[in-house]
């Protein structure tokens, strides 16, 4: 955050009770830098909600209609969290960091309280917490080159939605091939707050000839890419089927989850409304 201030963000919003930059030069100039070069995003506001313990898989599976049985350690999945009516509570990126430990990298709503509340009466052996882990996204067509310069050539081998650990100044950092743009890139899950400035400065220095610049989730690019923003495009008043996210719901499953009956009803009747993208062809 201090680095983004130093690099001069022009506006910010509040996301998960924290400040998140909205643009640097201008939304349009930032868009072109993201699409042509590479940008660093402080997305530390995407907090991790950690679910750990012997019943971590069973409990996490209770929170989302997406089937997690085939989720390997080292894999990410985009998941919807639903309430008992099928309403979307959040749409985090899930990381299976260990056999019995998941991180939900959350959008803007209070998942820690939601999950801890559900755990009270679930009768499952889990511990739910918020580790101090702050993602830094590296997004844009030159992201592979930049990441390889800082983390080594091995980072290029990461497949989409997979993560590994890569050395930074003697400390292994979790690096995933993911990010909230369609330009490609990585997210570095910084678990050492004291290394934040060093990490930002190292990436900026290594990418000078790549024209690296500061950035943040870009409204123009993510709408063009069809990425939905929780709290803006959809809220708890929408279910995943009407949000066009049915492909992330497995309703024929045997294990129960919150909202399953409601979603099955919507699937049988067909959603009453649909959130759709619209392409305007300009002359």
Q: Which is nearer to ligand THG, 77 or 142 (CB)?
A: 77
Q: Least distance (Å) from ligand THG to the CB of residue 92?
A: 5
Ranges within 134-153 binding ligand THG (CB under 6 A): 135
Which one among 87, 92, 207, 213 touches ligand THG, defined by CB under 6 A? 92
- The three-point CA angle 158-104-247 to 5° equals 75
Give the span between the Cα atoms of 181 and 276, in whole angstroms: 18
Smallest distance from ligand THG to CB 280, Å: 21
The reply to whether 221 sits near ligand THG by the rule CB under 6 A is: no
Site string for ligand THG, 148-187 (x = CB under 6 A): ------------------------------xxx------x
CB of 232 to ligand THG, least distance (A): 11
Q: Is 82 in the site for ligand THG (CB under 6 A)?
A: no
Is residue 46 part of the contact set for ligand THG (CB under 6 A)?
yes
Q: Binding ligand THG by CB under 6 A: which of 107, 128, 146, 258?
A: 107
Q: Which of 55, 71, 77, 245 binds ligand THG (CB under 6 A)?
A: 77
Question: Residue 76 or 260: which CB sits closer to ligand THG?
Answer: 76
Instruction: Using CB atoms within 10 Å of the CB of residue 278, give its burial: 0 to 12 exposed, 13 to 18 middle, 19+ buried.
Output: exposed
Q: How many residues bind ligand THG (CB under 6 A)?
A: 15
Q: How far is the CB of 76 from ligand THG (least distance, A)?
A: 8
Pairing state of beta strands 163-168 and 134-139? unpaired
Q: Which residues bind ligand THG (CB under 6 A)?
A: 46, 77-78, 91-93, 105-107, 135, 178-180, 187, 227
């Amino acid at each position: 955050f201090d680095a983004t201030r130093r690099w001069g963000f022009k506006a910010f919003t509040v996301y998960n009770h924290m400040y998140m930059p909205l643009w640097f030069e201008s939304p349009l100039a930032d868009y072109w830098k993201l699409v042509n070069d590479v940008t660093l995003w402080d997305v530390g506001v995407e907090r991790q909600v950690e679910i750990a313990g012997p019943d971590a898989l069973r409990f996490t599976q209770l929170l989302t209609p997406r089937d997690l049985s085939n989720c390997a350690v080292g894999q990410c999945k985009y998941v919807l969290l639903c309430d008992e009516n099928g309403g979307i509570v959040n749409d985090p990126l899930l990381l299976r960091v260990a056999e019995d430990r998941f991180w939900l990298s959350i959008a803007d709503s209070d998942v820690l309280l939601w999950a801890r509340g559900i755990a009270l009466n679930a009768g499952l052996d889990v511990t739910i917490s918020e580790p101090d882990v702050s993602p830094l996204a590296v997004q844009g067509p030159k992201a592979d080159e930049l990441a390889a310069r800082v983390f080594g050539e091995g980072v290029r081998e990461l497949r989409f939605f997979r993560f590994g650990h890569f050395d930074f100044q003697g400390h292994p950092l979790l690096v995933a091939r993911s990010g909230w743009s369609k330009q490609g890139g990585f997210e570095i899950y910084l678990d050492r707050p004291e290394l934040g400035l060093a990490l930002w400065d190292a990436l900026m220095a290594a990418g000078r000839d790549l024209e690296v610049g500061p950035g943040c989730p870009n409204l123009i690019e993510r709408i063009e890419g069809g990425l939905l923003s929780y709290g803006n495009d959809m809220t708890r008043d929408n279910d995943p089927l009407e949000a066009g996210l049915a492909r992330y719901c497995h309703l024929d499953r045997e294990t129960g989850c919150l909202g399953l009956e409601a979603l099955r009803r919507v699937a049988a009747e067909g959603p009453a409304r649909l959130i759709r993208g619209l392409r305007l062809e300009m002359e």
